[in-house]
Structure 1
Amino acid sequence: MIVPQTPSFRLDGKRAVVTGAGRGIGLAAAAALAQAGAAVTLVARSAGEIADAASAIGNGAEAVTLDVSDIEAVAAFFAARDPFHVLVNNAGTNRPKPMWDVTEADYDAVLGLNVKAAFFVAQACAKAMIAGGTKGSLIHMGSQMGHVGGPNRSLYCASKWAMEGMNKSFALDLAPHGIRSNTIAPTFIETPLTKPMFEDAAFKASVLSKIKLGRIGTPEDLMGAVLFLASDASALMTGTSLVVDGGWTAE
């Protein structure tokens, strides 16, 4: 009898890049990939923060200061390096407010980073992979808010629903090149960005009432999903979303 063997979750010999890697979800993603053996490049605007993070992660991790909203700089970054096998397209922002209070500046900030910058980061990474004949995995950090709506989240929902759509199209374009594209859609995760929101007791209670497992998420809750989508364990997955929401969207 031939016993099936579990595909490897290891990433030895692979090169990975994580945007928005200085803290929170991005830092956790970079750590997960490095702990699985990948050589990880951490990218963010905060030079000191990602340098410290890369040093702490070890395993050859390097830090590169880059503003992912600068499309020319993004193209130059990927053109100057060997192709990556894994991209975690994580940089993002949010300006929660009622839709009637949203300004054009708010719109440009949220959609500019969450959609436009994410698109061109993925494009530049994929172009280098295609040119080098490198197969791999693009992982885009979406949100449960790319699957449902939420009060005061019109811009964020718009951006994350857009990400889900472009991810599906990326998957179709890139499949012939052996490049997969998927999203991870977390519930509320406590990070330096979101922690102040949870100091509002009413807001925290409203969130916990929707998360059926009864707790706010942590960056560690997403590390397994990142590793799964980056590795051969998910070799037949593309164009879909891995929802890590504690049951929020099940109802």
Structure 2
Amino acid sequence: MFLISFVSLLARSHPKQSSTFVWVTFINETGWPDGVCFLSGLSTSCYMYIGLDASMHMAEECTEPERTVPRTMLAAIGNGFVTGFAYTVALLYGITDIGVMNADGSTRWIPYLLNVQILRSTTMANAFSILMVIVGVFIIIAVQETSIRLAWSFARDEGLVFSKYLQRVHSKLDVPIFALILTWSLVFICGLIYLGSATAVNALIGSAVILQQLSFVIPVVLLLYQKLSKRFLPTKRAFKLPEILGWLANIYVVVFTIVTLIFFNFPIFVPTDSFSMSK
């Protein structure tokens, strides 16, 4: 689907934007200074990697997880960067009217409106939207699998209420049914929130990035506190960086997370209101 959409964006867009627009122009209509706009806007790219930790939660089902899990995570980062960067560049060259981004004051229609504008075809835009829904179904299955695995693992360690039920695995289906029902019910309830408040849903979705950042930085801080002790990082581990690079990478993670956690909580536009505060 990436190849089809990437080629279609390049082939159908006309006229093309100049390289100056794509690589040099910085458009800021948020009301914030450019630096704040850039940092708060990083939440979108961070959201792209929201499932990066999925392979860690499936480590028990992997062969040689000490090798498989790091390779999987690095592959996801590499694949996401190559495809995301290429798609973004193609998109920027194809945009003819940047005003469509604020057409109705809502972000939910932007991908569709951009496709209509760049592809110059409502039919193609609809087809791409349908394909995205199909891809989304497979993504939901993977996310559900990981979520169930998390709930079941936590219950197995007696970390949840009614753990004795949540840790049970169905004898025939070989699936933790109660853990599945729990995760499905929580997602269903979150979906109902949208009926009452779109702002609350936006805040909930936005918190996913912030909470993930926190979950990533906690073990890094603990490792730095322990001075990257060999007790926690065995010398003969499968995935290992030179010591100096390990220190630099972990310090960078902490600094980056502190900075982004501050700016990810900023409202996108100023002055703001009750609707846009958590958008």
TM-score normalised per structure 2: 0.22
- The structure whose Rg is larger is 2
TM-score normalised per structure 1: 0.24
Higher relative contact order (Cα pairs below 8 Å, separated by 6+ residues):
2
Question: Which structure features the higher share of helix residues?
Answer: 2
Question: Which structure features the higher share of strand residues?
Answer: 1
